[in-house]
Structure 1
């Protein structure tokens, strides 16, 4: 989940009225390149493990500690890049018990080693740091820390940094292209009487005898750096188990009773998602919902929940159909990310539609599991009202720039369209399951997705993906009377665009293999108005 979804939803009517087919040229800074680019200082090493050991002081809004970064050298190098936002202090960087030289440029810290590190060797650096992290003004719409209070006046702290950068609060190789192969350890000391909940399994606590207690957590799986999290509050722990999967909920003390009832929705969701997408990818790390002072975020194995125990999205229905209030949007959407985003991760943030399009489609899948196909298609059809067609869904590569917020609804509608192009539900569900399992815990690109669905569907879907992902318009189906016959074609910009479309004629479904060239309509009809495309199944303009 990211800020763009929530912003464009509230202002969708304004955006749609002003949507353009041309996109203004964007400019990027050196900082954008440092954050989003892959240069030798980043590609020469592969992170194996993060061991974060810090103290957070909520009243002072301050962090101090270190991160032990274990990495493998993949190309000989004497310099690597580790990221930490400019407002945070680099206290020292230790390698083999000696301080290393480094140079800071924007958020990047270029670390120099006294001797060249050799390929296929492993090294560990300890990166000491401190400072007051950026405070989000409106998380998760912007990135940073949230320092809040619960109803009893006790500190309630969280962080959300997708897109913004995990380096806003700890030193890290801040790129989706590299997840720590062996997971992470997150040790966080907080004032006595409070608890910290992070990703993975709870490994124990230790009273440090200085007014702070350290809470230790361990993630065994590779993890996206923006997923690494802290949650500090006076939490109550609720434990459950569903068919062998540990379910743990950490909620504010006052909300324990309502949480026990409300979070029962997790069980049918898990049944649905595991049937359609495969086994929960992080069962050895468990599944958690953690109550947060912001709306939500897909923090792997510690999903942030702040929807106030309401159905819908803060009580509202993003589809405008009424179907969206049948489920808790944050539970379903953010948990869907465990498969799409956390397990299957895009190499560059420009391809974030791989996270968000499939995850918003998981909402449609859940509705179908619970309430049937018709309700699911009703919800899907309603999502088109949230599409702005302002910019392409795919963003700019190498500069930490995602594409349009349309990656959510338009991405989901594109996937729903492909389902109906396949026109065989048994085959479709096998394809979707195979997609999830083929790329499980992998980092991929848009082309990987296209190649997979081309192969599994048995047809060239490339122009269809291109039209929805790389252009701001959607395919427009056009009919015309030409003499005594009716002709049809697509208006689309993607080269060699061909896409089937199902239409209804007097209660009969007919499939047309339409292209950007005029074709003769062979069915007998009196008027073009007798031809009705099935727009619930295909996201098109007509």
Structure 2
């Protein structure tokens, strides 16, 4: 999603912008979302499972004065199995004014956030139909964008409308009728966004022209296979910076940055950085997945989001001590890990966020060397919570992300990154990066034009990594992803003998080898049985376990610090409550 925590020291760089905080206050005027609309990734119905989505012509009119929208969604649907009903999700605050099936007026039933549209006939597998839905109303206003998302009706410093959407947690049904599930991408989305003349609507995919009539301008875009939550509105009095990147794969990629007037030099500087990110990703992972469309950035009143080919950027060009824009780089990572590779169910969101977060330390290694990489890796470890498995056993939806007690919505970032780091150290660079390429592109030799969007889960990644490494890695994925607690290494020294034993939460096998430095020599301890005994050579020999921080494991030092932090927070909370009572 929006940002990775590389170090506690730079966490302040990622605070919610003032504009977003203002919008949160306005959100109190927006009635709460219906339970179904508030959640994304709920189980598909049989009819939704059976529905293919080859095409959508999506037309939206956005009125800043009334803070309303009206829309016309013209679907072509395919029957993946016998089908007699088209079921889509849509926020019930909207009024549906018309539905047609193959051009004829049709009935529909609104059911607490879902529209059920009888097709008037039974489609056999492979048959198609055209369904059009018209709706209008006042969309939900985001409470705490982008975390708790929706619409943002903001204004620039000169009072011009500045509008954006961010809907990862709530889903696409917050403002358009869709099947709100990761695998239900639309093969081709043509969008037409109508806004008051003088405003620009920067959209997903390739620009297809604009036209102005009676004080309104319609901006047209065409995108292939957009991730459903990555379809976004970005509207403002934008200027645009244009550039081109010559890919190492031989293709030329257009670059665009829609920025607010006055920010041209900063936009140009950041776009130069984007070229460096492109070179890094194409070198380490593979070709930019949407090179036939564009690399796009747009300034937004919220912090950021990985909207496909039009990444939202709201970090206000703040410098960081790392020497690059960590927000822009993280969101850009999601073009690979979210938009090209999409998790096939919400439980596997770490494939987006964890692998995307790992791209920041990896970028520092690529650009600055080993010391920068290890510093970034070590700095992530203090933020891990380890209360919930990274991949929960039971089906979840995106609402689990916001559960502070569970902590899952935080661990899928840095813990996911740490797991990637440890896996790389275990199986080596060749097997690791070939596994990542297969996961992202469906093949180890991606080139522009020879791959399609991928859907995958953790089991797929386990299978791929096992095949590429030639090892059964079930124990690794079980210990790190399907259990909450980190593996613990028990140390017991008796004179010159050091006993090491792994313990896991579920008592599952964990044959993770680990380095032990004794004096100026480093050995690899064979832990294939889960334990070993090492001869240190003398009773007073000094040793260091895992001197290069290759293995993610439980740290009593971090646990103690985290406990202390909780105590300080509780004390501060009580002091605030007492002060309030005294007043």
TM-score, normalised to structure 1's length? 0.89
> 2:450 matched to 1:415?
no
Deviation of the 1:523 alpha carbon = 5.0
Indicate yes or no: 2:528 matched with 1:520: no
Work out whether 1:364 is the aligned partner of 2:376.
no
Q: Secondary structure at the match of 2:118?
A: strand
Q: What are the Cα deviations for residues 174-201 of structure 1, in whole angstroms up to 9, with x where unaligned?
A: 11022112x2111000001101011011
CA contact under 8 A between 1:250 and 1:291: conserved in structure 2?
yes
Residue in structure 2 matched with residue 303 of structure 1 by the alignment: 311
CA distance in structure 2 between the partners assigned to 1:335 and 1:270 by the alignment: 9
Matches within 5 A, 1:272-421: 272-312=280-320, 325-395=322-392, 396-397=394-395, 399-400=397-398, 401-402=400-401, 403-421=408-426
CA contact (8 A) 1:489 1:516 kept: no
The verdict on how the C-alpha distance between 1:397 and 1:535 changes in structure 2, with shifts beyond 3 A counting, is farther
Unaligned runs of 5+ in 1: 12-28, 313-321
Structure 1 Cα separation of the partners of residues 105 and 438 of structure 2: 48
Moved over 6 A (4+): 3-6, 8-11, 29-34
The 10-residue stretch of structure 1 (88-97 or 474-483) with the greater mean CA deviation from structure 2: 474-483
Who is 2:196 aligned against? 191
Task: Report matched runs for 1:477-516 at 5 Å.
Answer: 477-481=489-493, 485-494=497-506, 495-514=508-527
Q: Is 461-470 or 263-272 further displaced after alignment?
A: 461-470
Matches of 2:278 and 2:430, distance apart in 1: 20
Q: After the TM superposition, which residues 57-456 of structure 1 pair with which residues of structure 2 at under 5 Å, given as runs?
A: 57-181=63-187, 183-209=188-214, 211-219=215-223, 221-243=224-246, 244-312=252-320, 325-395=322-392, 396-397=394-395, 399-400=397-398, 401-402=400-401, 403-422=408-427, 424-438=428-442, 441-456=453-468
Cα shift readout 1:495-515 (whole Å, capped 9, x = no counterpart): 222212122221222112326
Counterpart of 2:512 in 1: which secondary structure?
strand
Q: Deviations over 1:93-135 (max 9, x none)?
A: 1112222222222211111121112210111111111111111
SS in 1 for 2:262: helix
Compare 362-371 and 527-536 and name the one that shifted more. 527-536
Contact 2:2–2:306 under 8 Å retained in 1:
no
Query: Retained in 1: the 8 A contact 2:496–2:539?
Result: no
526 and 105 in structure 1: CA distance in 2 versus 1, 3 angstrom threshold? farther
- Tell me the alpha carbon deviations over residues 368-409 of structure 1, each in whole angstroms, 9 at most, x when there is no partner: 111112201111110112212232222442644454420000
Using the alignment, how far apart are the partners of 1:246 and 1:4 within structure 2? 27
Cα shift at 1:34: 8.8
Contact 2:516 2:543 in 1 (8 A): no
Contact kept, 8 Å, 2:37 with 2:174, in 1: the verdict is no
Quick check: 1:474 aligned with 2:486? yes
Secondary structure of 1:170's counterpart equals coil
SS of alignment partner, residue 525 of structure 2: strand
Q: Within 2, Cα distance between the matches of 1:333 and 1:398?
A: 25
Contact 1:421 1:501 in 2 (8 A): no
Contact 2:40 2:170 in 1 (8 A): no
Structure 2 contact 341–441 (Cα < 8 Å) conserved: no
CA contact (8 A) 1:490 1:515 kept: no
Give the match's secondary structure for 2:142.
coil
Q: Distance in 2 between the 1:511 and 1:470 partners?
A: 26
Q: Summarize the Cα distance change of 1:404–1:122 in structure 2 as closer, same or farther, 3 Å threshold.
A: same
| Structure 2: distance between partners of 1:500 and 1:518 | 10
Deviations 1:40-74 (A, max 9, x none): 12111111122111100012111102111111101
Is contact 2:525-2:532 (8 Å) kept? no
User: RMSD across aligned C-alpha pairs, in angstroms?
Assistant: 2.4
Instruction: Look up the SS of the partner of 2:195 in the other structure.
Output: strand
Whether the aligned pair in 2 keeps the contact of 1:35 and 1:108 (CA below 8 Å) is no
Deviates more, 1:369-378 or 1:394-403: 394-403
What is the total number of aligned residue pairs between the two structures? 510
Q: Which runs of 5+ in 2 are unaligned?
A: 13-34, 247-251, 402-407, 444-451, 556-583
Tell me, yes or no, if the aligned pair for 1:34 and 1:107 is still in contact at 8 Å. no
Structure 2 distance, partners of 1:524, 1:484, is: 6
- Matched position secondary structure for 2:133: strand
1:39 is displaced (CA, Å) by: 2.0
User: Residues 258 and 299 of structure 2 are in contact (CA less than 8 Å); yes or no, is this contact kept in structure 1?
Assistant: yes
Q: Does 1:37 align with 2:35?
A: no
Q: Following the alignment from structure 1 to structure 2, what is the Cα–Cα distance between the partners of residues 483 and 261? A: 59
Q: Distance in 2 between matches of 1:5 and 1:378?
A: 13
CA displacement at 1:278 relative to structure 2: 0.6
Q: Is the 8 A contact 2:154 2:161 kept in 1?
A: yes
Given the superposition, is the C-alpha separation of residues 525 and 265 from structure 1 closer, same or farther in structure 2, using an over 3 Å criterion? Answer: farther
Separation (CA, whole Å) in 2 of partners of 1:80 and 1:31: 18
Q: Which deviations, in whole Å up to 9, do the C-alpha atoms of 1:481-537 show, x marking residues without a partner?
A: 368733211111252222121222212221123267442224535358524223522
Deviation of 1:80 after TM superposition, in Å, equals 2.6
1:18 maps to which residue?
none
1:427 Cα offset (Å)? 4.5
| 1:179-231 superposed Cα distances (whole Å, 9 cap, x missing partner) | 112x211100000110101101111111122x211000111x21111001111
For the residue of structure 1 that corresponds to 2:526, the secondary structure is: strand
Q: Distance in 2 between matches of 1:34 and 1:413?
A: 27
Bigger shift: residues 467-476 or 424-433: 424-433
